[in-house]
Structure 1
Amino acid sequence: MAVVVWLLAGGALGPFAGKLGQVAGNDQAAFLPETAESTRVNELRRGFQKDETVPAIVVWVADSGKITAGQREQAAEAVRAAGRVTGVAGPGSPPLGSEDGRALQSVLPLRADLDDQVGPAVDAIRAAAGQVPGTRAHVTGPAATQADLSEAFAGIDGVLLGVALSVVLVILLVVYRSVLLPLVVIVTAVFALALASGVVYALADRDAVRVDGQVQGILFILVIGAATDYALLLTARFREELGAGRDRWAAMRVAWRRSVGAVTASAATVALGLLALLVSDLTNNRALGPVGAIGVVCAVAAALTFLPAVLVLLGRAAYWPARPAPAAAHGRRGLWRRVATLVDRRPRRVWAGSLIALAACAAFSPLLKAEGVPLDEIFLHDARSVTGQRAVAAHFPGGAGNPAVVIARADRARQVIDAAGGTSGVAQALPVGADGRPGAGEPLVVDGRVRIDATLSAAADSDAAKRTIPRLREAVHAVPGADALVGGYTAEQYDTQRTSAHDRTLIIPIVLAIVLLILIALLRSLLLPVLLVATVALNYLATLGVTALVFTHGFGFSGTDASVPLYGFVFLVALGVDYNIFLMTRVREEARRDGNRTGVLTGLTATGGVITSAGVVLAATFAALVVIPLAFMAQIAFIVAFGVLLDTLVVRSLLVPALVRHIGPTVWWPHRGIRP
């Protein structure tokens, strides 16, 4: 019955994985801090626009020498032609020459509701702009960036899923040397993803949750990785029980009963850790929380219902051509028996050496700059919007085309303009006229307020520009009765950076408390849960240290997305505790019968292979995120994949069992069921 229900559900809900893009949006303005000053400005500036628009910046650079009068006229004609493109909301500004005379710049407003059609509109503008002989035309600005983002996320449901499932299948074939079992595990993960996609689609379609390309990609990877991990734990235990001589029904009853506690506790740590993101002030963080938790719940549901039913139907044939053998047979030989023997004989040396190595890596963690990714590094490969931004920066003031936006009372406009223009790091400050252009005619007054565009001297995405924002705010806030507010792209980045830092100080303790309480309830101990939480926290810091070195000296990133450290923490701590839960529940089971020393030896030997396989699978699935050519995805992929492997191979394999072996039964205090 369970198999039939899942087959029907999978067939009905499977198509929703491909439909999530229909309810996903990649509007970066929708993911700003809700209480930040830049968000308030974003709301007020809409009153200064007849229709909500997104600017596209067109820049022409002369192939040699300076722009001629004829080229200027042809550029103006190209702007008029571009204004007739479907999706352009109004006429563009006349081409403005650069101080060096080698470039022209114009701004065209695009409708904000173009969604998937923004790419064709930008391409049409590029085609019109390219009709100026003797120049190279570029289109950049928020509209072009949005078009490149849409292109980057195009086909995410096909390419990403295909790569992730292929990687998992290959690893499972190598690990299990079985024909049917890898396919059963893959089908379990696919059904879990179908269920999760259907639920998320229904909620997103009713605006109950928010989905963007990043959240969608992480959901796919998280569900596949989690479902595979839980499936591996159950299939390994089922194989043990079959090898012990039980029939398939009895073997599944024992395997399910002895696995369900660890699997559900593991899923709870990940789901509740993700739900802790709901207290974030960043909308995209809050979006990932419930969506990710839904995915984990669906993964554990498939692993504990569909998979057991299929395994019972297949029995020993699931492992063909391999034969299930008793756990004792595996325990007498093999790599993990040797690792367990090393931990048993020299526990102090093992945990001390592991601790020193992790601490050395963690020492480099302060070097990680989580201050945002520059515009020219958002995409892993040179996108056309990035090339255009470089052309703008080379010939116009750094912040040209992306000014800081000041909203102030109209009767204090002159004082605010003077204060903004006199701020260090501001090239000029001009009021926006009725035609939407800065400095053109009388300022447009809306509800007693005016808009002032402050062009920054430095590039809008640079650290220097972000340092200008607090100075600019201080200057305009000091104008009596102006009620001035500062927003715009640079202010948004500055506010996002500050909010991300605040979120880390708030959410990290919440996640640690959640994990600690779950471990206490599962292990019925106080000392051991504290020890496990401390080890996964150390693993996180060690991962940050290695990440700081690799990002700077290996990948050449000059900055890290502000959300990456928090996402990395939530995933690494929650998923890292998973593997410790799998290990320590088995150690406790063995220790209650044969004593602490034998429990560690047997538990590590029995679970070493399956947990390592699960870690490799999870790391590989997260690594598949690099198929999306965005720096954020690449950074998340590395930090989670490396951190999971470090946790699996060092923390769970050496540090934790060596500490438990060295401390002895006291580590289970106040639990009394463990023999010396």
Structure 2
Amino acid sequence: MGAVRTNTRRRAVPWLVLGLWIAVLALASPFASKLGDVQRDRAVDYLPASADSTQVAKIQDRLPGGEATQMVVVYHRDSGLTAADKTTAAAQIERIAGTHQLTGEPRGVPSRDGTTLMYPVASTEPGTDEKARDELVGDVRDIAESGEGLSVVVGGEGPLATDASEVYNALDGPLLYTTAAVVALLLILIYRSPFLWLVPLAVAGMADYLSMGVAYGLNQWFGTSVSGQSSGIMTILVFGAGTDYALLLVSRYREELRRVERPYDAMAAALRGCGPAVLASSGTVAAGLLCLLAADLNSSRGMGPLGTVGVLCALLAMLTLLPAILVLLGRRVFWPLVPRYGSTPKARRSLFAAMGSSAGRRPLTVLAGGAVLLGALALGALNMPGNLKQEDSFTTKPDAVAAMETLAAAYPERGTQPITVITPTDRADSTLAAVRDTGGVDSAERGRSGEGWTEISVLAASAPQSAGETATIEALRDGLDGSYVGGPSAEQIDLEDTNARDRLIVVPLVLVSVLLILVALLRSLVAPLILVGAVVAVWGAALGIGGLVFGPLFGFEGIDPGLGLLSFVFLVALGVDYGIFLMHRMREESLNGTEPVAAALTALRTTGGVIASAGLVLAATFAVLTSMPLVPLVELGFVIAVGVLLDTFLVRTYLVTSASVALRRKLWWPGPLSREPERPVPPKEPERVAASAH
């Protein structure tokens, strides 16, 4: 009777887990569907929390009408504007002014060569409502129509934000579908089963849906910022990391099904075997991502909690829902390669066994060669282009960028993008005079007042985001006490400065947190240092490859200021995953009494395939970002994908294995595995006693 009750309970557990997940997803559904409503992609949502430009954006929100939408309507004819063109321009601007409440009367500014006429236009109608801003920009673009030979484009800060918002809003669907399709294709190739691939893919989809609900809750309860970039990365992490955990679990489950008769018992053994490695792996990624909370950059700080939510939801799903479904489906889910109880897999000379043998024969040579290769690749980072400008952030050219390019060509001698100075109203006159006296300032006009602050719009004598304009912004900040200097160009300066500061704080935090987790898991100091050193070398090499291709091959004009920090966090946290899988199995073999060299080679032979599969899946999911129309996402996806591939097929298989073989027991210093086992002392033979003579 006891055995019957035990079997009944075992059959009930998977159904209970499945029922709990259905209930959880039903509760999360109303919140998950609202995540898009709280996604914000305004400049202030990406800016440094403490920077001047952020304070300007916040104060502008409180001024009458809220944040002003700055636009520039640009009229251009290659052969020179005609009188009819100027009449058309004046009529269109008059219609825009009559349709919308503008902050001032637009005045046309002709270029010296007579080919271009620009009208700066600003309106506070939308305030901070992004949808209203986009509608305003769309309406202005509808009114400002091009004619025969006359080009009319609308640029400026507002239209650029609208174009960026359209790109981010369009990411969710294609990013999810493309990621799911890539993962499905790879799982079909890996499992060679018409059914098995569906299970981890469906579970990952449920984890992604749950993560959306949790992310919305964080936004509502704690004010966590949600941007198009952070929500997209969250989806990538759910599918990439979640599928990695599924691959490890399913691989171990398949092994146990050959040794254990009942699927429930086989799954329990698989969870006991690989569960600690999966938990440590996800903990490492979560700890690394949470270090981004120390960043001052809003976009980086918001990505930390969302990325952590994605990883933890993936972990929860893969350690509860996936095992339950696999147990319910039984062995037949593996058809046609069903692991029969008592069977043994065909012995094959695997690629990873061959790689391990070569690393085992000449470990120091392999280590030296790998170090030289990674170092040479890292030198490519010296070829990185400069920092990315706003107009170069798109892989295709939207109207706002076309307008900026036309302005840069037609007005090379002056600024065309306003610099905003926010000053206390009681000193507005003196500040305006000081601004006009500042070197590099072409013109300055008083704008709105309210809430004790006055807005001053400044045009520099130099082109936007040039060295001259940067010097002007810095001179304004140095010379105006109690005032804030913002605007698009000032925002770019703050982004670059804050990213440099964040690297100095976040990078050490990531390294320390990852090391502590590895030390706790592996009971060693040497092994964690090797793993962390290896992923740092991979990061440098991946950035170097990016430097070799971004400009010459992809044609990118610059590098996103946040690329170094974000790629470091993701590559260190995710790259250590595979080291954990390998080292955990190596330690397991050593605890069972296997000699150090044999333990290293056995660990590589048994985990090499699943690590390679996991690396391919993770690299492919991040490579999906390279198909997106934003240069920062393309650069981030490329560097992480290349780094994961380097880590999977070079560092884990060759370099870490070679280091383990070369160090032998020293790898586990100062833990108990670093000491030679005591040899059993043979029992002494009993002394012979001579028989007494009687």
What's the TM-score once normalised by structure 1's chain length? Answer: 0.91
Bigger shift: residues 122-131 or 585-594: 122-131
Matches of residues 105-124 of structure 1 in structure 2 within 5 Å? 105-106=118-119, 107-109=121-123, 110-124=125-139
1:235 counterpart = 2:239: no
Relative to structure 1, is the Cα distance of residues 634 and 327 closer, same or farther in structure 2, using a 3 angstrom cutoff? farther
Shift of 1:12: 5.4
Deviations 1:116-152 (A, max 9, x none): 3444432321221116665211001122112212221
Please give the alpha-carbon distance, in whole angstroms, between the structure 1 residues aligned to 2:398 and 2:118.
Answer: 19
Contact 1:76 1:94 in 2 (8 A): no
Unaligned runs of 5+ in 2: 1-15, 678-694
Contact 1:80 1:91 in 2 (8 A): no
Shift of 1:182: 0.7
Contact 2:441 2:472 in 1 (8 A): no
Relative to structure 1, is the Cα distance of residues 464 and 318 closer, same or farther in structure 2, using a 3 angstrom cutoff? farther
Contact 1:431 1:450 in 2 (8 A): no
1:94 counterpart = 2:107: yes
Contact 1:406 1:451 in 2 (8 A): yes
Relative to structure 1, is the Cα distance of residues 153 and 49 closer, same or farther in structure 2, using a 3 angstrom cutoff? same
1:500 counterpart = 2:516: no
Q: Secondary structure at the match of 2:73?
A: strand
Deviations 1:359-391 (A, max 9, x none): 1112333443563x2122111111111111111
1:470 maps to 474
1:296 maps to 311
Q: How many residue pairs end up in the alignment?
A: 657
1:222 counterpart = 2:226: no
Contact 2:247 2:610 in 1 (8 A): yes
1:536 maps to 535
1:363 counterpart = 2:379: yes
**For residue 54 of structure 2, what is the amino acid of its counterpart?**
T
Which of 395, 418, 424 is the aligned partner of 1:380?
395
Please give the alpha-carbon distance, in whole angstroms, between the structure 2 residues aligned to 1:374 and 1:463.
Answer: 12
Q: Secondary structure at the match of 1:555?
A: coil
1:275 counterpart = 2:290: yes
Please give the alpha-carbon distance, in whole angstroms, between the structure 2 residues aligned to 1:288 and 1:211.
Answer: 8
Contact 1:331 1:606 in 2 (8 A): no
Please give the alpha-carbon distance, in whole angstroms, between the structure 1 residues aligned to 2:392 and 2:624.
Answer: 20
Larger Rg: 2
**For residue 105 of structure 1, what is the amino acid of its counterpart?**
M
Contact 1:83 1:91 in 2 (8 A): no
Relative to structure 1, is the Cα distance of residues 512 and 331 closer, same or farther in structure 2, using a 3 angstrom cutoff? farther
Shift of 1:588: 0.8
Deviations 1:371-415 (A, max 9, x none): 3x2122111111111111111222235764422223446787677
2:595 maps to 595
Please give the alpha-carbon distance, in whole angstroms, between the structure 1 residues aligned to 2:48 and 2:431.
Answer: 25
1:104 counterpart = 2:117: yes
Bigger shift: residues 186-195 or 28-37: 28-37
Deviations 1:544-581 (A, max 9, x none): 11111111222122211111111101100000000000
Shift of 1:421: 4.8
Shift of 1:471: 3.5
Contact 1:272 1:514 in 2 (8 A): yes
Q: Secondary structure at the match of 2:336?
A: coil
1:191 counterpart = 2:206: yes
Shift of 1:329: 4.4
Relative to structure 1, is the Cα distance of residues 321 and 366 closer, same or farther in structure 2, using a 3 angstrom cutoff? same
1:461 counterpart = 2:473: no
Q: Secondary structure at the match of 1:59?
A: strand
Q: Secondary structure at the match of 2:550?
A: helix
1:556 maps to 555
Contact 1:403 1:453 in 2 (8 A): yes
Bigger shift: residues 22-31 or 459-468: 459-468
Relative to structure 1, is the Cα distance of residues 348 and 459 closer, same or farther in structure 2, using a 3 angstrom cutoff? same
Please give the alpha-carbon distance, in whole angstroms, between the structure 1 residues aligned to 2:620 and 2:231.
Answer: 18
**For residue 562 of structure 1, what is the amino acid of its counterpart?**
P
Which of 5, 17, 22 is the aligned partner of 2:37?
22
Shift of 1:343: 1.5
Contact 1:397 1:457 in 2 (8 A): no
Please give the alpha-carbon distance, in whole angstroms, between the structure 1 residues aligned to 2:429 and 2:26.
Answer: 65
Please give the alpha-carbon distance, in whole angstroms, between the structure 1 residues aligned to 2:558 and 2:251.
Answer: 42
Please give the alpha-carbon distance, in whole angstroms, between the structure 2 residues aligned to 1:619 and 1:627.
Answer: 14
Please give the alpha-carbon distance, in whole angstroms, between the structure 1 residues aligned to 2:639 and 2:32.
Answer: 26
Matches of residues 134-213 of structure 1 in structure 2 within 5 Å? 135-206=150-221, 208-213=223-228
1:611 counterpart = 2:604: no
2:624 maps to 624
Q: Secondary structure at the match of 2:154?
A: strand
**For residue 669 of structure 2, what is the amino acid of its counterpart?**
W
Contact 1:331 1:602 in 2 (8 A): no
Bigger shift: residues 234-243 or 141-150: 141-150
Shift of 1:251: 1.5
Unaligned runs of 5+ in 1: 437-443
Shift of 1:30: 2.9
Q: Secondary structure at the match of 1:615?
A: helix
Please give the alpha-carbon distance, in whole angstroms, between the structure 1 residues aligned to 2:133 and 2:59.
Answer: 24
**For residue 646 of structure 2, what is the amino acid of its counterpart?**
L
1:317 maps to 332
1:336 maps to 352
Relative to structure 1, is the Cα distance of residues 419 and 329 closer, same or farther in structure 2, using a 3 angstrom cutoff? same
Please give the alpha-carbon distance, in whole angstroms, between the structure 1 residues aligned to 2:472 and 2:606.
Answer: 58
Percent of pairs identical after alignment?
38
Shift of 1:332: 4.5
2:681 maps to none
Contact 2:352 2:604 in 1 (8 A): yes
Shift of 1:161: 0.8
Bigger shift: residues 204-213 or 88-97: 88-97
Shift of 1:103: 1.8
Shift of 1:153: 2.2
Q: Secondary structure at the match of 1:94?
A: coil
Deviations 1:20-41 (A, max 9, x none): 2111011112322122222233
Deviations 1:491-531 (A, max 9, x none): 12111111110000100000000000000000001111111
1:253 counterpart = 2:268: yes
Q: Secondary structure at the match of 1:453?
A: strand
Matches of residues 385-396 of structure 1 in structure 2 within 5 Å? 385-396=400-411
Matches of residues 40-79 of structure 1 in structure 2 within 5 Å? 40-45=55-60, 49-68=64-83, 70-79=84-93
Shift of 1:309: 1.1
Q: Secondary structure at the match of 1:655?
A: helix
Matches of residues 374-523 of structure 1 in structure 2 within 5 Å? 374-397=389-412, 400-408=415-423, 420-421=435-436, 423=438, 426-432=440-446, 436=447, 451-474=455-478, 476-477=479-480, 483-523=482-522
Shift of 1:245: 4.9
Please give the alpha-carbon distance, in whole angstroms, between the structure 1 residues aligned to 2:61 and 2:391.
Answer: 27
Deviations 1:573-595 (A, max 9, x none): 00000000000000111122212
Bigger shift: residues 21-30 or 211-220: 21-30
What's the TM-score once normalised by structure 2's chain length? Answer: 0.89
1:4 maps to 19
Which of 345, 366, 373 is the aligned partner of 2:361?
345
**For residue 625 of structure 2, what is the amino acid of its counterpart?**
L
1:634 counterpart = 2:609: no
Contact 1:537 1:573 in 2 (8 A): yes
Bigger shift: residues 105-114 or 648-657: 105-114
Contact 1:78 1:128 in 2 (8 A): yes
Relative to structure 1, is the Cα distance of residues 85 and 230 closer, same or farther in structure 2, using a 3 angstrom cutoff? farther
Please give the alpha-carbon distance, in whole angstroms, between the structure 1 residues aligned to 2:662 and 2:344.
Answer: 24
Please give the alpha-carbon distance, in whole angstroms, between the structure 2 residues aligned to 1:276 and 1:228.
Answer: 24
Aligned-pair RMSD on alpha carbons?
2.6
Relative to structure 1, is the Cα distance of residues 251 and 463 closer, same or farther in structure 2, using a 3 angstrom cutoff? farther
Contact 1:83 1:108 in 2 (8 A): no
